[in-house]
C-alpha cells in the first residue's frame, strides 16, 4: 500500500505514579480508516485516545499527524495554537457525554455553527444554512435550530455533538464511547448514523469502546488493550472471530452474539 498514515504513534508510554497506564504502544491510522480500541475499564484505552489526540502528553514516545499537504507534525511538540487549530478544523472529538462538548446555554444552531465561526466564517446566512444542513444529516428536525440543547433527549444531544463536530468536515475524529449511556434502540440508530456519515465523508476515526458489537459494526481494524498494552491488533472480524490472545478470547466469549 503506497499511501501514508494519517496518524502514527510509536513507543507511547505513560505512568500515573506507580500505575502504568500505557506501555510501549504503537498505533497507525490510515486516511478514511476506522480503528477501534477495545478493552475493559482501566485498560488504558481512553488514556491512549487522549495521548493520540494531544490532550495528554505521553511520558515517552511520540505521535505524528500528517497534514493534507503532507507535512508531518509531532502532536506533542507542536505549538499549542497549532494543535488548537487542528482540533477545531481537521480534527474532531466526540465525547461519551455530549454535555462535555456542547454549550448547553447556546441554541442548537449556535452549537453547530461555532466551529465554522472559529475558522473565520463571517456570513450568518451561510453559517445558518450549514447548521440546518447538519441537523438534517444527523436526523434532528431543522425546526429545532433555535432550541436549547437542554430540551433535547440523550440521543439527540449525541447527534447534535456529532453535527457540531463534523460541520467543518474533519479528516480525523476521535470518539470516546460515543454510544455509551444510551438506550439500546437509540444506540442502534446512532451507530448506523455514525457508520454512514463516516463512510460518506471518508473520515478516519479512532474509536474507544468497551462494546465489541460497536467495534464490529464500525471499525475496519481493532486494537485490544489490557493493562496499558496492546495485546492484539488486526482486521476487526479476524480479531473478533478468531482471537489469538487469551484476553481477547475472554473478551469475545463474554459477549453474546457480538
Partner 1 sequence: MNNAMLRTEGLCKAFMLHLQGGVRIPVLSQIDLDLHAGECVALVGPSGAGKSTLMRSLYGNYRADVGRILIRHGGSMVDLATADPRVIIAVRRQTMGYVSQFLRVVPRVSALDIVAEAAMARMHTLATARGAAAALLTRLNIPARLHALPPATFSGGEQQRVNLARGFIGGHPILLLDEPTAALDPANRAVVVALIREAKARGIAIVGIFHDAEIRDAVADRLFAVTPWQDAA
Partner 2 sequence: MKGYNFAYLDEQTKRMIRRAILKAVAIPGHQIPFGSREIPLPYGWGTGGIQVTAAILGADDRLKVIDQGADDTTNAVSIRRFFARTADVATTTKTADATVIQTRHRIPETALRDGQIIVYQVPQPEPMYRLEPSRVETRRMHALADYGLMHVKLYEDIARLGHIGISYDYPVMVNARYLMAPSPIPAFDNPKMHMMPALQLFGAGREKRIYAVPPYTEVRSLDFVDHPFHPARAPHACGLCGAGDSYLDEVLTDDRGGRLFVCSDTDYCETRRADGQVGAEGVPVGMPGGAVEATQ
Residues that bind partner 1 (CB under 8 A): 1, 30, 33, 188-189, 191-192, 195, 217, 220-221, 234-235, 237-238, 241-242, 244-246, 249-250, 253
Residue 4 CB partners (closer than 8 Å, separation 6+): 30, 66
Dist CA 90 CA 74 (whole Å): 15
Dist CA 96 CA 74 (whole Å): 26
Dist CA 90 CA 166 (whole Å): 10
181: left (phi over 0), alpha (psi -120 to 50) or beta: left
Give the number of residues written for the chain.
258
**Could you say whether residue 143 binds partner 2 (CB under 8 A)?**
no
**Could you say whether residue 127 binds partner 2 (CB under 8 A)?**
yes
**Could you say whether residue 115 binds partner 2 (CB under 8 A)?**
yes
Q: x/- string (CB under 8 A) for partner 2, residues 68-107? A: ------------xx--xx--x--------------x--xx
Minimum gap (Å) between residue 237 Cβ and partner 2:
41
Dist CA 60 CA 178 (whole Å): 28
Task: Report yes or no: 11 and 61 within 8 Å, Cβ to Cβ.
Answer: yes
250 binds, among partner 2, partner 1, none (CB under 5 to 8 A by kind): partner 1
**Could you say whether residue 145 binds partner 2 (CB under 8 A)?**
yes
- CB-wise, 54 or 155, nearer to partner 2? 54
Q: Which residues bind partner 2 (CB under 8 A)?
A: 80-81, 84-85, 88, 103, 106-107, 109-110, 113-119, 122-125, 127-128, 145-146
Amino acid at each position: 500500500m503506497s499511501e501514508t498514515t494519517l496518524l502514527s504513534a510509536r513507543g507511547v508510554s505513560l505512568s500515573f505514579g506507580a500505575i502504568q497506564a500505557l506501555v510501549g504502544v504503537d498505533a497507525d491510522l490510515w486516511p478514511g480508516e476506522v480503528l477501534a480500541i477495545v478493552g475493559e475499564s482501566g485498560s488504558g484505552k481512553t488514556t491512549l485516545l487522549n495521548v493520540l489526540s494531544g490532550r495528554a502528553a505521553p511520558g515517552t514516545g511520540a505521535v505524528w499527524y500528517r497534514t493534507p499537504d503532507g507535512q508531518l507534525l509531532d502532536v506533542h511538540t507542536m505549538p499549542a495554537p497549532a494543535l488548537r487549530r487542528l482540533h477545531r478544523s481537521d480534527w474532531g472529538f466526540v465525547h461519551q457525554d455530549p454535555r462535555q462538548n456542547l454549550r448547553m446555554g447556546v441554541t442548537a444552531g449556535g452549537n453547530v455553527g461555532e466551529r465554522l465561526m472559529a475558522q473565520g466564517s463571517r456570513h450568518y446566512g451561510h453559517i445558518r444554512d450549514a447548521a440546518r444542513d447538519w441537523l438534517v444529516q444527523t436526523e434532528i428536525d431543522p425546526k429545532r435550530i433555535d432550541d436549547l440543547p437542554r430540551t433535547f433527549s440523550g440521543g439527540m444531544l449525541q447527534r447534535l455533538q456529532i453535527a457540531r463536530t463534523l460541520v467543518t468536515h474533519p479528516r480525523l475524529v476521535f470518539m470516546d464511547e460515543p454510544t455509551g449511556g444510551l438506550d439500546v434502540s437509540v444506540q442502534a440508530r446512532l451507530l448506523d448514523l455514525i457508520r454512514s456519515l463516516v463512510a460518506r465523508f471518508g473520515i478516519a476515526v479512532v474509536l474507544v469502546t468497551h462494546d465489541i458489537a460497536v467495534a464490529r459494526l464500525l471499525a475496519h481494524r481493532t486494537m485490544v488493550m489490557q493493562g496499558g498494552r496492546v495485546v492484539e491488533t488486526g482486521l476487526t472480524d479476524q480479531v473478533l472471530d478468531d482471537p489469538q490472545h487469551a484476553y481477547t478470547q475472554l473478551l469475545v466469549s463474554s459477549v453474546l452474539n457480538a
